[in-house]
Amino acid sequence: MSIWQRTATPEEMNRRCRGTMVEHLGIEITACDEDSVTATMPVDERTIQPLGLLHGGATAALIETVGSVAAALAVRDGFVTVGLDINATHVKSATEGWVTATARPRRIGRRMHCWQVDVVNMDGQLVSTGRITMAVVPDRSGRESPPSDTGR
């Protein structure tokens, strides 16, 4: 059974990120499966620190991005999710190629979501693991939500 309240293709989600830090860092949503969202980010001049290693802040931005997209798709109509807390533990460096982040739910509640996000390198080795906690609040923005296929 799918956890999603809304559906959107990776292309739609990437289009919504144009002109933001997400686009600047080269982050791209690549998949939305039954219980996870996946994104990639290049390890290049935009995302490394002075020693040539993947920057922890760029990794945290990737974790927040993929977790936020997942939460946005899992929240019920009339509500949005906003960040409360994010943490990341960096366990291996990356110096080239791409990293891939996958967000999976730890808890999807009426008032709070918690998502576990693992970031791996091109060899599938864990680079960083993180958690993002999101508050569920009424949507007062007037902005367009991702399309809903449930009508809830």
Catalytic residues: 64
β-bridge pairing 98-108 and 28-32: unpaired
Q: How far does Cα 64 stand from its chain's mean position?
A: 5
- What residues form DSSP beta bridges with 86? 132
- What residues form DSSP beta bridges with 89? 129
Q: How far does Cα 72 stand from its chain's mean position?
A: 10
- 146/98 Cα distance (integer angstroms): 27
| Cα-based distances in Å from 145 to 6, 76, 101 | 9, 11, 23
**Token reading at 131:** 């958690």
Within 10 A of 23 (CB to CB), how many other CB atoms are there?
13
**Token reading at 151:** 């009508």
